[in-house]
Structure 1
Amino acid sequence: MEVTPDRRALLKTIGLGAAGVASVSLLTSCTGGVAAQSSSAQPSPSLLPAPPGQIEPLLDHAKVTSALDQLDGLVNDSMEKTGLPGMAVAVVYQDEVVYSKGFGVREVGKPDKIGPDTVFKLASVSKPLASTVVAGVVGRKLIQWTDPVIKYDTGFALKDDYVTKNASFADLLSHRSGLKTASGDLLEDLGFDRTYILGHINQEPLDTFRASYNYSNFGYTAGGEAAAKAMKMSWEDLADAVLFKPLGMSASSYRNADYEKASDKAIIHVPVGNKQWAAKYHRDADSEAPAGGASSTIRDLAQWLRLQLGGGTYESRPVIDPAALQETHVPQSISGPASAPAARSRFYGLGWNVSYDDQARVQLGHSGAFNLGTATSVAMLPGEQLAIVALTNGRPQGIPEAITAGFLDAVQHGKPTVDWLSFTADVFHKLDESEKPKVDYTKAPANPAPAKSNENYTGTYDNPYYGPLVVLDSDGKLAMKMGPADNPTTFPLTHFDGDTFSFESIGENANGLAGALFAASKDGTSPSVTLDFYDRTGLGTFTRAS
């Protein structure tokens, strides 16, 4: 079935900053591959009639069972076509975990299998978990969604004083504070901790307050931190107390150390060739824990999905206030305005992407991804009491999104109506292409201008955002050192052209070689250097101090 350019543009919202963002529900509700279901479809007789204003359920056990029977095939096919090392999938329907299974291996080259209790890094699926935690604090009447976060975290600050004084929990958790996408992410890549990053995002330029949508990991993290301060707890302890312990989610944590010490964990992988993967990196997301630092299993996440579908009730026990939780499911920001009169807009709630399908049913979803080796996806049809979560141990290529979208498609239409794996892979490929550096430093000029002597460039350069940069001469070769004082990163410099050198970018946002552009000198020493990779929001110029 044809996919229009408008729909392709829509699906570009799937892709990824440091922790990533997406709604798999977009894949099923807003593409041409899903036909409208007949309005004559009958709800399950076991379900009570919907209240006024609520859509009648259209699914029944037979349809769900038929789709479940196809899930093994969807997963095995995606793994065979991509070589993905491992995946785990769980489905919840009408408060029952009706599917929970692992596939493949925890690490390439080793025999240990993935199972329901294998711990995965969740990346941005951490966000709807986090909004559940904050809803728990709201339900305790200690905060309100509309409260300014500075009321509880007096150190919170953004570039504009008005925004600093008025930005609420809802503003930060729905990405409408004006803080731009990727603000703080490069500090994280350098190894700075949460305190440093949140203390420096006030230098980041802002978009329009409450009238713009910019996916921000550290804006989200600031909201989570403020909720924890309201409870006089750390974020990690708060999540344990409010969510993980009440639901018996014993394998879940917002601490990287807990993931590392787990005996049954999925190691992260990146592709290294055709259907070939390698475990090359480690990813510590403690600095952005509320936004991307959670780890969990499908067994645990299935309990969380039961809580979500149960409106805050778990095994007949109230755990999260239903009104506070429902607020997380309501559109708060327009994440993608309709591009045509007949097109649908896309929304972001509080930690959830929110959309509506052809039958006007609410669909909630979120994806997570670390470019260093993790991709995850969760999707819910709350009115149908149906949810699915897919976790993988490979770099984002649209694989978990294809599984969740394919399952929801099969539930509604008997079988998938789109080759979802090819479709999502194409979207992610285009996202990767769009993130390539503007200057290709792998292609040196045919006749480059010579560099000056090393003494022209060496010295210490100051930057209020990134901290000091030291350019040094090591056995006749230049290098630069930057990052936390107790653990800086050294970047070898390679001459490119004139006063420009190249270096290898690092971290979650790395995209190959970047440039160090030294300003021309008048007295034999360069007065400043601009690092183009770190200058995305105009903060990448370092001024000579010595």
Structure 2
Amino acid sequence: MTAMTLHRWRALLVALAVSASAIAAPAPPFQPMFDQARQHYALPGLAMAVVEDGQVVYQHTAGERRIGTGEAIDENTLFKIASNSKAMTAALLARLVDRGALRWDDPVIRYLPQFRMHDPWVTEHMQVRDLLIHNSGLGLGAGDLMLWPEPNAFTRQDIIAGLAHLKPVTSFRSGYAYDNLMYVVAGEVAARAGGKPYDQLLREEVFVPLGMQRCQVGAWSVAAVGNVAQPHARRDGRTVVTQPDADTSPDLASMAAGGIRCSLRDMTRWMQVLLDPAQVPGWLSDAQRRALWTAHMPMPIGARQRQWDNAHFAAYGYGWRLSDLDGQWKVAHTGTLSGMYSSLALLPDRRVGVVLLINGDAEDARTALMQAALRHYTAPDDSKGVLDYARLLRDEQQQRRDSGHVRPDTRARTPASLQGTAAWQGRYRDPWLGPARVCPHNGQLRFQLEKSPQLQGTVMQLGARWLVQWDTLGADAEPWLQPQPGTPPTLALRAIDPDIDFSYDYQDLQFTRIGDCP
């Protein structure tokens, strides 16, 4: 056999081997998952990426930034990542700890002397680390109405001042209750320790060194940056844009807790660096990386987590939820804002990460798609897919309805009588949410919160009860309006929907009448 003939045989054998390998290799599972989630839940837009061993093994986007415009979502489209911002705030603080600018066990009042909790002892003993792990003793989502709905006129100084008026529901450090306000405080601690505004520090310490080029924080021009996904909601059976951006995105008071926007490419880069320190050597010390993913506060394990994940532990780290999934370590977080959902999950021991960004009402879609994607790694022999998890979620919801856990039917409402409500019309004030009015306007009784333009609506009557029909928010956010006897008169708000988002913390409000309508 000549050398030329031998070379041809070798080339043929190599080609056959490559062809056989390609035939035998299983098709990537993520595209069918992506398509099923988007179609089943009629999502306006979806972006997804998967990282393995530092490499992007899957990345796909579909849908529109604003439904009906044809403006396609791509890997550079900006989404609100909501509470996935918390991990970035924690990383910023970790960088400052590495630098010696602060310590995790420093008292908060060392950096913010004006900081006050309802209990003076808690004020004195609250440490920087406590701001990140949801152990303040406040109730679930306490004070969130100073953050959302956006935009509003509350400042970070207003939020810090309002904390003193929020009464705890448990003792300090005794249990877990998710809280956003403490992350706002954490952002201000970072600014004081770092000597620069939070948004500038985050760009310098996180976005720039990690190459997250499209992420936005602070005030920025939506028009100039461009390619920005808008939030969507279901209204009367249709998907519509809700709370769209103006030309400029303001310097949101909530940014350290949930106000950052990033693209799929940015979030993919974020995952790569978190999973592999060699991607950006020296960005965080090993000690601070461990601190972020240490179980600092135990969390309850829900029935779904036990059944779906076979979970044995759950805890909160610094900006991350920690748990086990089929016996494998999971580090994850979700992000939820009106019309925007995100999810990021890491399996550090496998060097795997998955991120989802959605610009619509998509809690179930996010849950089903992420579960199917992760269990491709942790339980490859399990045949459940996106549609199977969707059915399980529907079954859960039906069980809640069967048990009577449903929103009351309020469709028979009518505008409240001005004459019948005359005794409690006037100007009111809540200690932390501020001034409000319950006053006639154009023949109707209107509820208006001074610092939150979206918390405005018409007072309606249903039998012997009153409720507020918001002008721009959906029915799922409506509260009962309950006049309280006494002098001066007071008003309370209570959620109508038992499954209302916990950020509508109406139960913490108590409006006291301070004067007549203007």
Counterpart residue type for residue 528 of structure 1: T
Give % identity: 24
Residues of 2 paired with 1:456 and 1:401: CA distance?
48
Counterpart residue type for residue 141 of structure 1: G
1:518 is matched with which residue: 445, 461, 483? 483
The answer as to 2:98 corresponding to 1:150 is no
Residues of 1 paired with 2:191 and 2:408: CA distance?
42
Residues of 2 paired with 1:76 and 1:406: CA distance?
13
TM value normalised by structure 1: 0.77
What secondary structure sits across from 1:504 in the alignment?
strand
Alpha carbons of 1:241 and 1:325: their partners in 2 closer, same or farther (altered >3 Å)? Answer: same
Compute the displacement of 1:450 (Å).
7.6
Write the mapping of 1:178-193 to structure 2, written as runs, cut at 5 A. 178-189=137-148, 191=152, 192-193=154-155
**Residue in 2 that maps onto 1:532:** 494
CA contact (8 A) 2:416 2:444 kept: no
Alpha carbons of 1:301 and 1:492: their partners in 2 closer, same or farther (altered >3 Å)? Answer: same
Compute the displacement of 1:385 (Å).
1.3
2:241 is matched with which residue: 276, 279, 304? 279
**Residue in 1 that maps onto 2:363:** 397
Moved over 6 A (4+): 65-68, 431-439, 448-451, 506-510
Residues of 2 paired with 1:122 and 1:320: CA distance?
22
The answer as to 2:319 corresponding to 1:351 is yes
Counterpart residue type for residue 71 of structure 1: F
Counterpart residue type for residue 132 of structure 1: A
1:382 is matched with which residue: 348, 353, 356? 348
Structure 1 alignment gaps of length 5 or more: 1-61
**Residue in 2 that maps onto 1:323:** 287
Alpha carbons of 1:167 and 1:417: their partners in 2 closer, same or farther (altered >3 Å)? Answer: farther
Alpha carbons of 1:322 and 1:506: their partners in 2 closer, same or farther (altered >3 Å)? Answer: farther
Residues of 2 paired with 1:219 and 1:509: CA distance?
27
Counterpart residue type for residue 261 of structure 2: S
Counterpart residue type for residue 146 of structure 1: D
What secondary structure sits across from 2:434 in the alignment?
coil
**Residue in 2 that maps onto 1:541:** 511
Residues of 2 paired with 1:535 and 1:354: CA distance?
26
The answer as to 2:73 corresponding to 1:114 is yes
Compute the displacement of 1:374 (Å).
0.9
Write the mapping of 1:405-484 to structure 2, written as runs, cut at 5 A. 405-414=371-380, 417-423=383-389, 427=393, 430=397, 441-443=410-412, 452=419, 455-484=422-451
Equivalent residues, number: 470
Counterpart residue type for residue 279 of structure 2: Y
**Residue in 1 that maps onto 2:300:** 336
CA contact (8 A) 1:479 1:493 kept: yes
What secondary structure sits across from 1:319 in the alignment?
coil
CA contact (8 A) 1:369 1:395 kept: no
The answer as to 2:332 corresponding to 1:365 is yes
The answer as to 2:25 corresponding to 1:75 is no
Residues of 1 paired with 2:90 and 2:408: CA distance?
39
Range with bigger deviation, 257-266 or 430-439: 430-439
Write the mapping of 1:182-221 to structure 2, written as runs, cut at 5 A. 182-189=141-148, 191=152, 192-206=154-168, 207-221=170-184
Residues of 1 paired with 2:439 and 2:52: CA distance?
60
Alpha carbons of 1:450 and 1:199: their partners in 2 closer, same or farther (altered >3 Å)? Answer: closer
Q: Could you give the per-residue CA deviations for residues 162-188 of structure 1, whole angstroms, max 9, x where no partner exists?
A: 111111222121111222221111123
Q: Could you give the per-residue CA deviations for residues 76-113 of structure 1, whole angstroms, max 9, x where no partner exists?
A: 11111111111111222222223222122222112222
Write the mapping of 1:123-134 to structure 2, written as runs, cut at 5 A. 123-134=82-93
Write the mapping of 1:479-490 to structure 2, written as runs, cut at 5 A. 479-484=446-451, 490=456
**Residue in 1 that maps onto 2:11:** none
What secondary structure sits across from 1:134 in the alignment?
helix
Compute the displacement of 1:227 (Å).
1.7
Range with bigger deviation, 422-431 or 252-261: 422-431
Q: Which has the higher contact order (CA 8 A, sep 6+)?
A: 1
**Residue in 2 that maps onto 1:314:** 279
Residues of 2 paired with 1:338 and 1:501: CA distance?
35
Counterpart residue type for residue 326 of structure 1: R
What secondary structure sits across from 1:418 in the alignment?
coil
TM value normalised by structure 2: 0.81
1:175 is matched with which residue: 111, 124, 134? 134
CA contact (8 A) 1:120 1:392 kept: yes
What secondary structure sits across from 2:333 in the alignment?
strand
Compute the displacement of 1:246 (Å).
0.9
Residues of 2 paired with 1:410 and 1:172: CA distance?
35
Structure 2 alignment gaps of length 5 or more: 1-20, 496-503
Compute the displacement of 1:395 (Å).
1.2
CA contact (8 A) 2:428 2:514 kept: yes
**Residue in 2 that maps onto 1:91:** 50
**Residue in 1 that maps onto 2:206:** 243
Residues of 2 paired with 1:107 and 1:435: CA distance?
37
What secondary structure sits across from 1:369 in the alignment?
strand
**Residue in 1 that maps onto 2:121:** 162
What secondary structure sits across from 2:343 in the alignment?
strand
What secondary structure sits across from 2:220 in the alignment?
helix
Compute the displacement of 1:242 (Å).
0.5
Compute the displacement of 1:240 (Å).
0.4
Residues of 2 paired with 1:507 and 1:179: CA distance?
29
CA contact (8 A) 2:446 2:457 kept: yes
Q: Over aligned residue pairs, what C-alpha RMSD do you find?
A: 3.4
Residues of 2 paired with 1:508 and 1:450: CA distance?
23
Compute the displacement of 1:260 (Å).
6.2
Counterpart residue type for residue 347 of structure 1: A
Range with bigger deviation, 403-412 or 107-116: 403-412
What secondary structure sits across from 2:148 in the alignment?
helix
Q: Could you give the per-residue CA deviations for residues 354-407 of structure 1, whole angstroms, max 9, x where no partner exists?
A: 012344x3210111112x211111111111111111111111332233333222
Compute the displacement of 1:304 (Å).
1.4
CA contact (8 A) 2:233 2:240 kept: yes
Residues of 2 paired with 1:159 and 1:488: CA distance?
28
